[in-house]
Every structure is written in C-alpha cells, then in structure tokens.
Amino acid sequence: LGISISAGRDFYSSGRFAAGLSLRFAGYWNMRSHACGQTGGGTVRSRSWRDYHLFSDGPFPDDDDFTDFYPDSDPYLPYREELGGSSGQVLSGRRICARLSSDLYQIGIGPKLTWRAHDRIDLFGGLEALCNFSHLEVECGEMRRTETECLPGVGARLGAVAYLTDNIGIQVEAGYEWVDEADVSLGNVRAEADYSSFVATAGIALRF
C-alpha cells in the first residue's frame, strides 16, 4: 500500500484528443517478508590410493636425493593402486531465519494521451520513465544491515476519470511497473527485492 500524486499538462489538443506530459511521485512503505532455511549441512567423503611412477633412469636405491628426477612427460600416467574403502563425515547444519523490510519511493515522468469520451468522462494512458529509491533493511540473528539504492525502471498506465463537477472527479487507473531488482548481503545471507508488479490506484482528480 502507498500513495501516489501526479500532475500533468496538455501541450496539444484536437477535438476530443489531447497529448501532454505527466509528472508523478509515489511512495510505498513497510513492505515486509520473512524466510527460513537450512545452511552448513553436508557430507565429506575421502578415498585413498597409492601411485607408482616409472623413471627412465636413476636415482636408484639407496639414493635419497630425488630433487632432479621426474616422471616422463605426458601422456605418461602412473600406475594407481586403490587402497580400498572410503570414510565419510556428516556435517550438521543449522537453521537460519532472515527478515527483510523495505520502502520504495518513485519519481516518474512521461507522455500522456487523453480521450474525452464524454463531457464528464476522460480515458487516458501513458508511459513513464521511473527513478526509484529503495531503502532495504535485513536482519538475521544478531546481524542487521540497511542499504539505499537508486534503481531504474519504466511503467505503463491506463485509467479513467469521472468528473462530478467541472473541476473535481474520481480517478481510477491500473498499470505495470518494471523496476530493477535490489539486493543486500549480510554475512552469508543475500536478500533480494523485486518491486516489479501490477499497480492499481484510486483517488481524486482536479482539473484546472
């Protein structure tokens, strides 16, 4: 839930059609989500074998200086003797829970087209470029972090206004907003917020 305020001006009109520019501000507060999961669990398994390397020349027993002697180059491979068996170790995991809360503030600007279907009814549509300011706060156990990001976006809207008087009307509109994703990291926990969504608005319209 939030609030939206917009102002527009028509720069061209012909008959019942008009074209103009719209500037909008919106704010959405106290969006929350909660998630829990398991981390750190797993199994470590080990195997053992013995490799035998064949050298084309010395050293020979009982020479213990092997510094300058290496097996022949590739594709030579050592003879491998499996020593058999394997051992495993189970690592216990732990449960973690994270809470994410965020606020989103928007500034949108773009063209708007209006069709005056009736003396008291206007139908309109528009596109807008969005500048979004996201304030994220994530908590996990005793850890806490906040981060503010500026995210680009675009939006499209369709709506209608029914005027009760010459200057005051009731407005409804719906649209879709694409907003770039925001993320914040806290230790091994990474939280991501996707604000892209369908939006519906109802309110009062004033005409001057």
- Tens digit of pLDDT for each residue in 13-26? 998 999 999 999 99
**60: Cβ contacts below 8 Å, ≥ 6 apart:** none
Print burial letters for 36-65: b (CB count within 10 Å at least 16), e (below 16).
eeeeeeeeeeeeeeeeeeeeeeeeeeeeee
pTM above 0.75, yes or no: no
What is the per-residue pLDDT across 134-178, written as a single tens digit (0 to 9) for each? 998 888 878 888 888 899 999 999 999 999 998 999 999 999 999
